[in-house]
Amino acid sequence: MTADQPKQPRDPQAPKGRPTPKRSEAASQRRSLAQTPANRKDAARRQREARRADMAKQREALASGDERYLPARDKGPVRSFARDFVDARYSVAEFFLPLALVILVLSMINQGKFQSYVLLAWLVVILLIVINSVITGITLKRALKQRFPDEPTRGAVPYALMRTLQMRRLRLPKPKVKRGERP
């Protein structure tokens, strides 16, 4: 400031250049400082608890289908469409576990010619799964290009094919469409 400029008077309400915080604001600042962990062990414990709470939210979202809290791999309209596409159809792959169990039990029957039929059943099941997966992958890729022409669809087809390998009632997020419905 020069001598020819007049001094600006200070605000009488804020003599130190800033207003004094209200008691409630000061108390909340003290509380937030008190909540910071004192040592590394407490910080790790709080971080673990926060992670557990987030994981619980994600589990609940997987069961209910709430898009907000789904894990990153399940989020978005492309993944939702891929899930609905798979859930609306029957797939040979979803019956793999029960079929494998039956074939495994049948393979314990030790009769010469019967063993070759069991081996043939394994081959037929695996071949049907591969053929069904190729058809599902091609039709899904075509439907994704048609439905989402400008959005990236990378990873949606393998995501959907992995979903076909799970039995319908064990799938997470839970299926939203019934079989035969249009996604």
Nearest to 78 by CA among 158, 171, 165: 158
Residue 85 has pLDDT above 80, yes or no: yes
Torsion angle of C-alpha atoms 78, 80, 82, 83, degrees rounded to 10: 170
What 3 state SS string does the chain have?
A: CCCCCCCCCCCCCCCCCCCCCCHHHHHHHHHHHHHCCCCHHHHHHHHHHHHHHHHHHHHHHHHHCCHHHCCHHHCCHHHHHHHHHHHCCCCCHHHHHHHHHHHHHHHCCCCHHHHHHHHHHHHHHHHHHHHHHHHHHHHHHHHHHHHCCCCCCCCHHHHHHHHHCCCHHHCCCCCCCCCCCCC
Query: Mean pLDDT over residues 121-145, rounded?
Result: 96
Lowest mean pLDDT among 28-37, 47-56, 97-106, 113-122: 28-37
The tens digit of pLDDT for each residue in 43-53 reads: 888 889 989 99
Domain-wise residue ranges, the chain: 40-71, 76-170
The tens digit of pLDDT for each residue in 10-29 reads: 666 666 667 777 888 878 77
- pTM, rounded to two decimals: 0.70
